[in-house]
Copies of this chain bind each other. A is one copy, B any other.
Amino acid sequence: MRFFSDNAAAVHPALFKAMAEADRLDTAYDSDAWSQRLDRAFSDLFEREVTALWVTTGTAANCLALAGMVHPYGGILCHREAHIQVDEAGAPEFFTGGAKLLLVDGPGAKLTVDAVEDARSRIRADVHQVQADALSITNATEYGLVYSAAETAALGAWAKDHGLGFHLDGARFANAVVSTGASPAALTWKAGVDALSFGFVKNGGLSAEALILFDPALADGIRRRRKRSGHLLSKGRYLAAQLLAMIEGDLWLSNARSANEAARRLAEAAGARLVHPVEANEVFLKVTAEEAAALRAEGFDFYDWGVGEARLVTSWDQDMQAVDRLAEAIRRL
């Protein structure tokens, strides 16, 4: 019974079905019929014209977006524990030509206007210091907290006031939409977001994420950077088909709903053991080494998180009986 990563779950069958339907000769790269439908489909979802590009990883989506927003000599304000800082192997520096990540603190890997303003205000404007060109947040955060539409909009307004681009790492955007009840539009462009890395792979996808550009000026450069970074697959229709299968019929929402519900049940059981509020599909627990061992002895698989904590991540296809058994086991600890 595995609770260690939504990255490792199986693929939703609808995606295989969609790929099978795309399995015939068409033109290559992204001029095929499926890729050509993406802008329309995502524009409908976001209630405005957007450019939607498939890419194969969240890292690529994040870093292509950031490369379109910052100068090589610029900086990106982000949380000290943001995925782009901690777990992307220097990809932001690679794609941007060496821009600097300017680190900001905050509980649960979540940023506030006060925190980013404090960080920005300590940068001298002279040529000796790297200036912030963009702000990047993650929703849901690396610790499973969500930004509401209002919180996002406050950051977006602040970014615009200071002439910064605004990027949203939405590796778990679906979980945030479900959790907040806000519309995709309200959590993005209506809140000032210029580009969204819209994650599907953690949510039942196979190999397609979407990069959504709300700022039309970004599109041409990012298309070229996508090719230049080796991310323009020749048989792109199989990626487009995955994305279409996800958003047509709201599969992305029902998948996220399942994962969030599983996490909610675990959170309820965890009570005072919770390290962070559980607002998406991640549960951080205080457990002793003995307690963790006890849970593992019952067949539950998860990661330790530093000393004295454990991370449980739920997936779209989590067996709810196993979830309830784990909840029970946590209660028993």
Contact = CB atoms under 8 A, between A and B. Distances in A.
Contacts of A202: 234
A180 interface: no
A199 B260 CA distance: 40
Interface string A25-48: 111110010000000000000000
Contacts of A221: 71, 73
A302 interface: no
A239 B100 CA distance: 30
Interface stretch (A84-92, A151-159, A182-190, A274-282): A84-92
Given A86-B129, A89-B127, A128-B89, A94 B223 contact: no
A230 B229 contact: yes
A8 interface: yes
A227 B7 contact: no
Contact of A231 (B61, B71, B75, B230): B230
B16 A228 contact: no
A226 interface: yes
Interface of A: 2, 5, 7-11, 16, 19-20, 23-29, 32, 55-57, 59-61, 63-64, 71-73, 75, 86-91, 93-100, 127-131, 201-202, 205-207, 221, 223-235, 238-239
